[in-house]
Amino acid sequence: MTIKAVRRFFVCLSLAFSLLSAAALAQNNSWDTFKNRFLMPDGRIIDTGNRNISHTEGQGFSMLLAVFNNDKTTFDQMWGWANNTLYRPDIGLYSWRYDPGAKVKVADKNNASDGDVLMAWALLLAGDKWSDSHYTKASEKLQAALLKHTVIDFSGHTVMLPGVSGFNQTSSIVLNPSYFIFPAWQAFYKHSRLKVWKTLNDDGLDLLGKMKFGTTRLPTDWVTMRADGSMVPADRWPPRFGFDAVRIPLYVRWAQPNSPALAPFITFWQGFPRENTPAWIDVLSGSKAEYPLSPGMLAIRDLTLGNLFNVSGTLQPNEDYYSSCLHLLTWWSMQR
């Protein structure tokens, strides 16, 4: 190798380290920004787009971000608040919602399975990250409670209900496909070797492939599955590919970057200019939101389409809780 070639090599190496350092600095700054905006002193994460309520989704998302940012102190704060405020010892799961402005702050005792899965995943990762079996055992306990209370066999498939109560009507069930958190289920299987987690993952992908509604061939936020296995948009919610379902391609790609299950999302989003992609579409009528994707939803679009250079680890000044969570989780999914 010539002297000139050696110099070029070290210049390139130095540039690469500089870019990595800049990315790490930006991400640390974004985590600080996230905490300043949404973390209360007691460990509660506030949903600024929804009257500052809190929920297990927010605690779970943020606990994951704390692990990724190696912030054990904040992780313990957020987990501690959830345990002290939302935990249900009768079933080993968490009530899904806390409303600081209500007389009874935890009025609905039902759980939300996605929040419980997110917290169990964060605890499993925390046990590995910080070599602490206390977190690992807590994750195992939460996983077991999820299997006992929310996972059922229905019409030849193993499925996770969105909550313990209200989603099983005997002749049909209601599913939320954005609760199919494939990378978490895969992590649970890898850790426990319990076949049910692999079956849940495989059946979830199979069901997702059948949730192709209207001309867009997209899933809706909520789906009714009948006893014969057929599926339709759930009638209690607008038939939209919207704020819930936008998470589906994030989880699919996180678990399997080249999954064929990404195809309908790619086709749909390719049909719009990046900055003018509607935030939701009614899959039956074709009507669309009159406003574009939030920055966090846009990050998922960019990730799904392979436009990775557009996915920044820096939060925008006015991003609310949900957009910020999607934004940072999308960025971190690329780093795993």
Give catalytic residue positions. 57, 114
- The H-or-E segment that residue 120 falls in is helix 113-129
Q: Are 243 and 281 in contact (CB under 8 A)?
A: no
Query: In this structure, how many other beta carbons lie within 10 angstroms of the beta carbon of residue 247?
Result: 25
Radius of gyration of the chain (CA): 21
Name residue 59's amino acid.
Q
Of 261, 72, 91, the C-alpha closest to 163 is: 91
CA trace torsion 5, 9, 14, 15 (10° rounding) = 90
Task: Let me know the angle formed at the C-alpha of 20 by 67 and 38, rounded to the nearest 5 degrees.
Answer: 40
From CA 50, how far away is CA 256, in angstroms rounded?
Answer: 32
Which residues lie below 8 Å from residue 99, measured CB to CB, with a gap of 6+?
51, 53, 105, 106, 107
CA distance 331 to 38: 18
Instruction: Name the DSSP class of 235.
Output: T
Phi/psi at 35 (nearest 5 deg)? -65, -40
Angle made by CA atoms 35, 316, 271, in degrees to the nearest 5:
125
* Backbone φ/ψ region at 16: left (φ over 0), alpha (ψ -120 to 50), beta: alpha
Question: Torsion over CA of 75, 298, 54 and 103, rounded to 10 degrees?
Answer: 170
